[in-house]
Copies of this chain bind each other. A is one copy, B any other.
Amino acid sequence: MIVLPLHKGSNAERSRHRNRQAILGQVRIAGTIGRAEIARALSLTTQTVSNIIADLSEDGLLLEKGRLSAGRGLPAIQYALNPEGGYALGIEIRPDAIFAALLNMHGKAVVTERIAITQAQPETVLTYVNALYARALDQIKNAQGRTLGAGIVMPGPFGVTGIAGMGSDLPGWQQVDAEAFFTEAIGLPVMLSNDANAAAMAERVNGLAQDITSYAYLYFGAGLGLGLIHGGQLVHGAYGNAGEIGHIPLPAQRGNLENALSRLSVQRHLKSVGKDAREIEALDQLFQQGDADLMAWLRTASEALGYAMAIVENIFDPQTVILGGAMPDAVLDHLVAHASLPERSVSNRPNAPHPRLMRGAAGRMTATLGAAALILNRALSSPNSYAH
């Protein structure tokens, strides 16, 4: 039996790969940037950066954007990501539908598709996934051969590490190693995740968190999920199930957090007074009307949110917390505005550079876009330590 190492060794090839990622990532955060500046940021020589940039340009990942004169000296040739240099496929599998999105290197969705399904057996799902992927390629000819991988979101729990080959909650998937199954069948590198984690990553690649490396994302899915990003990478936990914040008991014996703060919670509350809010649109309409029952729910939800914030902030000390998922924007905004943020929290600091709570991307496609974002993030950064 081989003793698993904490991390693997390095060689010239792996160094090059890392440096490519680092340069791409640096171009991304800078927008446009010259070679010498990249070299300074990454502690590499300009010569090395030049060589790798020649490679990346050759591969179509970078574009020249003219020279920028800044003070004395030869003006630096500026480089920027080529949005069409690569694509990432995002797939979200639900019991009743499959969503797909194709993102370019800027994290912009260039294709979105959905398909209703009546059964979610692996083979059936696979047929649809391949069909959706083919449809996407049909619309973006350029993406043929330039798709970096597929991120897939499906109902957990599965074992990202440790319990290998553990399947999903979906019927028929219990015995399936979904990651291996899709990798084989789609012919692309696959990353598997749950909705909250994917949503969190979406904000990093194209959203509020592009320059934030440590944050948490509170996600309204079926229940209440939490995606943790630390050093620009997802924190999965030992068994891949970190972020199950909905299961935490509420103060004052009112059950779990997701009893007060989730789609199911508001649906149940409104149903008990004879109102239907299964669709986001219906919920939005009730909110616009100032519906008293919804407002009552929002009061307890805001309280629960404040409590969730106390937990997340004090345990994780993030730069910010982002709230998003399957809720109308207006409702999320209301929650953000009315959450009673705990005073006794490490995050309650003067002159904080970010608000403690922000509204993220919401709606049906959040997790699908996030699935693709997992792939983009991998292309633009290594799961390694912060510099400094």
Contact = CB atoms under 8 A, between A and B. Distances in A.
Interface of A: 2-12, 14-15, 18-19, 22-23, 25-26, 29-30, 33, 37, 40-44, 48, 157, 161, 213-215, 226, 228, 230-233, 235-253, 256, 307, 310-312, 314-319, 342, 344-346, 349, 381-388
Contacts of A235: 230, 235, 316
A7 B382 contact: yes
Contact of A315 (B213, B215, B315): B315
Contacts of A246: 314
Given A18-B10, A244-B314, A41 B387 contact: no
Contacts of A253: 251-252
Given A251-B249, A314-B248, A3 B26 contact: yes
Contacts of A23: 9
Contact of A7 (B242, B318, B387): B387
A168 to B, nearest CB: 15
A262 to B, nearest CB: 14
Given A247-B314, A315-B312, A22 B9 contact: yes
15 contacts: A2-B40, A2-B41, A7-B382, A9-B23, A10-B10, A10-B19, A236-B317, A237-B318, A238-B319, A244-B345, A247-B345, A248-B311, A249-B310, A383-B386, A384-B384
Contacts of A239: 317, 319, 346, 349
A237 B4 contact: no
A385 B249 contact: no
Contacts of A231: 6
A7 B384 contact: yes
Nearest to A216: B315
B384 A385 contact: yes
A6 B386 contact: yes
Contacts of A215: 238
A235 B228 CA distance: 12
Nearest to A381: B6
A101 to B, nearest CB: 24
